[in-house]
């Protein structure tokens, strides 16, 4: 008998728990609630629940579920946290963020117009009402600042100053930082009461480049 979409999702979540990438109930419930197949192109629907990155077109990718789980766990999310995502891509991670923080508290930015349209369409089809901005996320998004969390799903050469400025005291920046292509470290930086940052690294990762004024040149 073929498995239903829900069974595929439950199986993926069991696997991510077993390998200790999913550790908390909020992250587990988010993965159980968001249908990843609604965020991948038609030709990849069958691969939606494999633990692998997938092409979404225009040279961009949706990260592997294990990488997304790791990022969500280190982000220490909870309902009510104002969260800015840089690199909306397919909208899948924004939907997971909305599931945990509340959709009214999530803003996501995408710089490629075609990807932005793909994201809007996916979020609509999946039933989410999340603010999606078309623009250069290396400058953050002043209008909704300050944020409790700024999460970049594109690889930065360094943490842009605007993200530091738009973060609340006690807030976290989560971003892959390192080389333009193929190797970065996952950084988590906390804003201290005196305005300085306390930074930890959570291992190697591979993300597409953050392209923009305070990021990489195209
Ligand atoms: N979070 C996405 C994965 C995104 S891949 C998901 O769940 O599917 C990274 C995305 O960052 C790409 O779509 C890329 O176009 C976008 N990006 C790169 N530089 C950017 C910038 N300066 N501002 C906003 N988006 C950017």
Ligand 1 centroid, distance to 110 Cα (angstroms): 6
In a domain, 144, yes or no: yes
Domain that holds residue 141: 5-205
Q: Pocket of ligand 1, candidates 60, 63, 87: which has the most ligand atoms within 8 Å of its Cβ, to mutate?
A: 87
Identify the bridge partners of residue 174 per DSSP, sorted by sequence position.
151, 188
Lowest mean pLDDT among 3-7, 55-59, 113-117: 3-7
Give the angle 130-204-200 at the CA atoms, nearest 5°. Answer: 75
Which atom belonging to ligand 1 lies closest to the Cα atom of 85?
Answer: 1
3-state helix, strand, coil in the chain (%, to 5): 35, 30, 35
pLDDT for the residue 3? 65
pLDDT for the residue 2? 56
Label residue 1 by pLDDT band (50, 70, 90): very low
Quick check: 107 and 141 in contact, CB under 8 A?
Answer: yes
Ligand 1 centroid, distance to 134 Cα (angstroms): 11
d(CA 178, CA 194): 26
In a domain, 215, yes or no: no
Which atom belonging to ligand 1 lies closest to the Cα atom of 115?
Answer: 13
Q: Is 63 known to be catalytic?
A: yes
Judge if pTM exceeds 0.85: yes
What are the structure tokens assigned to 210, written together? Answer: 């953050």
In a domain, 217, yes or no: no
Take atom 26 of ligand 1 and give the residue whose Cα is closest. 87
Ligand 1 centroid, distance to 62 Cα (angstroms): 9
Q: Pocket of ligand 1, candidates 111, 117, 134: which has the most ligand atoms within 8 Å of its Cβ, to mutate?
A: 111
Report pLDDT digits (tens) over 141-195: 999 999 999 999 999 999 999 999 999 999 999 999 999 887 999 999 999 999 9
d(CA 31, CA 192): 31
CATH number at residue 39: 3.40.50.150
In a domain, 198, yes or no: yes
Residue with tokens 């993926």: 12
Catalytic-role residue among 63, 90, 152, 189? 63
Give the angle 108-137-89 at the CA atoms, nearest 5°. Answer: 50
Q: How far is CA 69 from CA 25, 27, 60, 216, in A?
A: 12, 7, 19, 26
Q: What is the DSSP string of 82-150?
A: -EEEE--TTSHHHHHHHHHH-GGGEEEEES-HHHHHHHHHHHHHTT---EEEES-GGG--GGG--EEEE
How large a percentage of the chain has pLDDT more than 70?
98
In a domain, 168, yes or no: yes
Q: Check whether the bond before 146 is cis (ω within 30° of 0).
A: yes
Which atom belonging to ligand 1 lies closest to the Cα atom of 208?
Answer: 9
Which atom belonging to ligand 1 lies closest to the Cα atom of 112?
Answer: 15
Residues in the ligand 1 pocket, defined by CB under 6 Å: 60-63, 86-87, 89-90, 92-93, 109-112, 115, 136-138, 153-154, 208, 210-212, 215
Ligand 1 centroid, distance to 36 Cα (angstroms): 17
In a domain, 216, yes or no: no
Quick check: 100 and 125 in contact, CB under 8 A?
Answer: no
Identify the bridge partners of residue 205 per DSSP, sorted by sequence position.
184
In a domain, 172, yes or no: yes
In a domain, 210, yes or no: no
Q: What is the CA radius of gyration of the chain?
A: 16
Q: How far is CA 89 from CA 13, 60, 67, 170, 171, in A?
A: 22, 7, 15, 27, 24
Total domains, the chain: 1
């Amino acid at each position: 008998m073929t498995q239903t979409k829900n069974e595929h999702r439950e199986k993926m979540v069991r696997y991510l728990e077993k390998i200790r990438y999913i550790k908390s109930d909020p992250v587990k419930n988010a993965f159980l609630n968001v249908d990843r197949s609604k965020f991948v192109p038609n030709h990849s629907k069958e691969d939606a629940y494999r633990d692998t990155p997938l092409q979404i077109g225009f040279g961009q990718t949706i990260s592997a579920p294990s990488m997304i789980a790791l990022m969500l766990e280190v982000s220490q999310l909870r309902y009510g946290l104002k969260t800015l995502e840089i690199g909306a891509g397919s909208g899948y991670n924004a939907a997971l963020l909305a599931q945990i923080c509340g959709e009214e508290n999530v803003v996501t930015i995408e710089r490629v117009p075609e990807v932005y349209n793909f994201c809007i369409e996916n979020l609509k089809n999946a039933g989410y009402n999340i603010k999606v901005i078309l623009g250069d996320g290396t400058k953050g998004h002043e209008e909704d600042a300050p944020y409790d969390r700024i999460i970049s799903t594109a690889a930065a050469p360094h943490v842009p100053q605007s993200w530091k400025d738009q973060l609340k005291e006690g807030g976290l920046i989560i971003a892959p930082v390192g080389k333009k292509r193929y190797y970065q470290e996952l950084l988590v930086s906390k804003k201290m009461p005196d305005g300085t940052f306390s930074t930890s690294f959570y291992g190697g990762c591979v993300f597409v480049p953050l392209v923009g004024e305070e990021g990489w040149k195209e």
